[in-house]
Structure 1
Amino acid sequence: MLAVEVASTKSASLLTSIHERFDRQSDNLTDNPETGLSLLQDEQLYTILHNSNHVVEWLKALDC
């Protein structure tokens, strides 16, 4: 686990963005009984060249 300090305005802005992204797709929520998780297909396509590494964009938004 790695902790980073970020400006509260940056973290609030990112959190709002993530919530808005989730809300746009929330009608497509699927419960997975095997994992106990609720899954949501993202609006962004996943490919071998574009995958969950978009976390880097979140870090950039936080000026990390």
Structure 2
Amino acid sequence: MTRTISLVAGDAQQQVQLPVSGSWDTWSTVTAAVNLPAGDALITLAVGLGDSGSVTIDSLTVD
């Protein structure tokens, strides 16, 4: 089972699938590739119309 949330970066939006971990003590890591424009770029995680939501995000790392 997976849950979904939308990742919005610049003008691009994609749905990210997050596996259900089963408990608050079990974590998982998800990677999503995003092309960012030069300069400052706003990155947003949001529950879109086609998303299930009900997720807990602990951190976001940009490389």
TM superposition score category, shorter chain reference: under 0.3
Higher helix share: 1
Higher strand share: 2
Identify the structure with bigger relative contact order (alpha carbons < 8 Å, sequence gap 6+): 2
Larger radius of gyration: 1
